[in-house]
Amino acid sequence: MAGSTYGHIFQITTWGESHGKAIGVVIDGCPAGLPLTEEDIQQLLDRRKPGQNRFTTARKEGDLVEILSGTFEGKTTGTPISLIVRNQDQRSKDYSTISEIYRPGHADYTFDAKYGFRDYRGGGRSSGRETIGRVAAGAVAEKILKEMGIEVKAYAKEIGGIDVQDTAAVEAYLSKRMAEMDSVGGIVECVITGVPAGLGEPVFEKLDANLAKAVMSIGAVKGVEIGDGFAAARAAGSENNDAFRMDDAGKVYKKTNHAGGISGGMSDGAEIVLRAAFKPTPSIAQIQETVNRSGENVEIQVKGRHDPIVVYRAVVVVEAMAALTVLDALLGNMHATIEGVCGFYK
């Protein structure tokens, strides 16, 4: 299977299935000398693990990470870092009834159409559990970025069209949908601060294009916008342009940030702001129409333990993918000028 590797210099390859023995990631290109322990990675993994509130799946997983390689005496060695999280609470029998049926909204049909075979136990590689490897690698990336004064922070912004600050309204809406055996989507916002100007490339390796690809690669994401995003299409140029000024220290800054910190595919020194739209969880207990592998029209009622909304657990996944993208761009930018190349070896 192609497509399990992401990044150019700081490169990650995720592996494993939802109901396999374990899931994890191999990181290549991490600089040597970075202090790194399992506890550093566990902090981020704890933010995505299931069972944290009544709006997430009841599957009980500790999601405890082990570092198998790439560190010595608490520091990275510059060799590949292999991270593993062992699956503990699989209930594969919950999926036996759908082994020949394509669940609406899932990758069952497309996976079967491509490979002629699929792991129906929780979706296999198409499961949201695959994101464990991304988050573990993202924890390493975030640690490096913090050494450079760069911070990546994601959070839930909207649930089912309701601002998350209206907690009572959000909880009431979620409870209503759960009682109806239905699910809900939402929006995650991510803000990246401290990124210097000039990060990214002006053509096919645009920073915003790579961020969009990274976030769109998360299973339930159906849309990504940078800065004002789609709202920019309804604005005039005089409203959308960000005016440049000089501050008292002689540095360039922008009076506004409609561009979301990226202009011409490169960072402009302002906060990078992106948002991801997550679709409602496709696994719902309502009876739905579908077909089976024999080409017959059938009905399905999905059983098992599923999130009525993925947004809460997906926040850290967006954060991780953004961190991986920015770090990879920073490492690639080191040879952008001859001064940078020569200066490194002087």
Asked if residue 19 has pLDDT above 80, the reply is yes
Between 308 and 193, the higher pLDDT residue: 193
Query: Which tens digit of pLDDT belongs to each residue from 167-200?
Result: 999 999 999 999 999 999 999 999 999 999 999 9
Give the pLDDT score at 340: 86
Among 11-20, 214-223, 307-316, the range of highest mean pLDDT = 214-223
Please give the backbone phi and psi of residue 142, each rounded to the nearest 5 degrees, phi first: -65, -35
Mean pLDDT, range 107-125, rounded to an integer: 82
Asked if residue 1 has pLDDT above 80, the reply is no
Give the pLDDT score at 56: 60
Give the pLDDT score at 59: 52
Domain boundaries 5-345, CATH class: alpha beta
What is the overall mean pLDDT for the chain?
A: 91
Which residues fall within 8 angstroms of residue 178, CB to CB, at 6 or more apart? 55, 308
Give the pLDDT score at 92: 53
Among 77-81, 85-89, 100-104, 335-339, the range of highest mean pLDDT = 77-81
Domains of the chain, by residue range, sit at: 5-345
Give the pLDDT score at 89: 65
